[in-house]
Amino acid sequence: MADLVIRNGTVLDPANKRDLKADVGIDNGKIVDVAKEGQFRQTIDASGCLVCPGLIDYHLHLSPLAEIGVDGELACFPSGVTIAVDCGSAGAATYEGHRPALLSSKLTAKAFLHVCSAGLATGQYHENPDPRHWDRKKIHRLFEKYPDDLIGLKVRLGKEIVGSLGLSPLEEAVKLGDELSVPVMVHCSDPPSAMSDLLSILRRGDTITHAFQDQGDSILDKCGRISNAAYKARERGVIFDVANANIHFSYSVARQAISENFLPDTISTDLTTRSLYKRPAVFNLAFVLSKYLNMGMPLEQVIACVTSNPARILGCSDDIGQLGHGADADVAVFKLIEKDTDFGDRKGEILKGRLLLKPMMTIKRGEIVYRDLEF
């Protein structure tokens, strides 16, 4: 007898091109064939619900890696997130000491290592991005030691961070990424140069995060359309991650991108203690996804941005981000409800929305880790 079956829901599984009424079986932490298993110890009735792969938040900040990091299980499981990617909270001097706390969690946590040794240890002042101070030897050692946990390098390139260094921290990060054979994620809000110059440095598999920001230069050209540089970067294989945050998202950029079908590769939160469960900008990943639904992005593409797309980017698409036979039993169940909701951006513009993804249940490797009281 197998462990659990979710019946009567609409399975939305972009990786396997499934959008249909179906049952999902789970046994021993894996997705199994319902017909072959026959009997299950527990049945969940998901009538009227969407049954999706567990969500992947491709950009947030976790405790204890950063002072403003969120508790992974408390922040993620209630929003359907089963895998989290910490983006630069820790650097070479801090990652290893905090790693045991991540391993003790049921949440799967991977990380981009900050090029600066202290990472984003505090929100009281900016890191020093000068490449002369990077501990390259230790960075190499950490990637050799933890190849399954460290997935790339993070560098922040805002004017107020890099100052007169300009683009050099990004250029050096990409060189280091070449040495390590890992991608680079770059924070692009208020860049120290034209966005086209920043984008030209990025390689296939590198990520530009906060892609829909509007501080300083953006991915829009002077005519207010998506720039040729952005299109060329996408053709080259650069990943566009939105990482909403409180201050790194603009409706003027996002609406234009959606109107041109320049959709994000990944939708993420950049969640911290400053934004968790706070309206109207972020709240949690389900809230941010609802924002994109209310901007007119199709539901299947929204779900792909937090399941199959990040799973492919992480190189784990056989095991995560999907509900195919043999995949990890990470499952998120939602109700798509109608409720008047305000969704905000950096400037305080409010989108009056009606669609809201309400998390009903989260399953991590076959274990129910969150369940709504009414479900």
Q: What is the pLDDT of residues 171-211, one digit of tens each?
A: 999 999 999 999 999 999 999 999 999 999 999 999 999 99
Q: Are residues 344 and 255 in the same domain?
A: no
Closest-CA residue to 8 (of 45, 43, 35): 45
Of 266, 284, 313, the position where a domain reaches its end is: 313
Q: Are residues 76 and 45 in the same domain?
A: no
Q: Are residues 287 and 334 in the same domain?
A: no
Q: Is residue 320 part of a domain?
A: no
At residue 38, the pLDDT reads: 82
Q: Is residue 319 part of a domain?
A: no
Q: Is residue 177 part of a domain?
A: yes
CATH number of the domain encompassing residue 68: 3.20.20.140
Residue 36 has pLDDT above 90, yes or no: no
Residue 357's contacts (CB-CB under 8 Å, 6 or more residues apart) are 50, 286, 287, 289, 290, 293, 334, 335, 336
Q: Are residues 109 and 32 in the same domain?
A: no
Q: 52-80, pLDDT tens digit by residue?
A: 999 999 999 999 999 999 999 999 999 99
Q: Are residues 236 and 336 in the same domain?
A: no
Please give the Cα distance from 309 to 307 (Å, whole number): 6
Q: 271-299, pLDDT tens digit by residue?
A: 999 999 999 999 999 999 999 999 999 99
CATH number of the domain encompassing residue 39: 2.30.40.10
Q: Is residue 252 part of a domain?
A: yes
Q: Are residues 340 and 215 in the same domain?
A: no
Q: Are residues 222 and 120 in the same domain?
A: yes
Percentage of residues in the chain having pLDDT higher than 90: 97
Q: Is residue 334 part of a domain?
A: yes
| Cβ contact 344:280 at 8 Å | yes
Q: Is residue 318 part of a domain?
A: no
- Token couple for 177: 């990424």
Q: Are residues 47 and 62 in the same domain?
A: no
Q: Is residue 365 part of a domain?
A: yes
Residue 373's contacts (CB-CB under 8 Å, 6 or more residues apart) are none
Question: E-assigned strands of 205-264?
Answer: 207-209, 239-241
At residue 35, the pLDDT reads: 84
Q: Are residues 178 and 47 in the same domain?
A: no
Q: Are residues 47 and 59 in the same domain?
A: no
Please give the Cα distance from 311 to 82 (Å, whole number): 12
Q: Is residue 183 part of a domain?
A: yes
List the domain range (segments joined by +) for residue 367: 2-52+325-371
Q: 229-259, pLDDT tens digit by residue?
A: 999 999 999 999 999 999 999 999 999 999 9
Q: Are residues 40 and 81 in the same domain?
A: no
The total domain count for the chain is 2
Q: Are residues 24 and 76 in the same domain?
A: no
Question: E-assigned strands of 197-330?
Answer: 207-209, 239-241
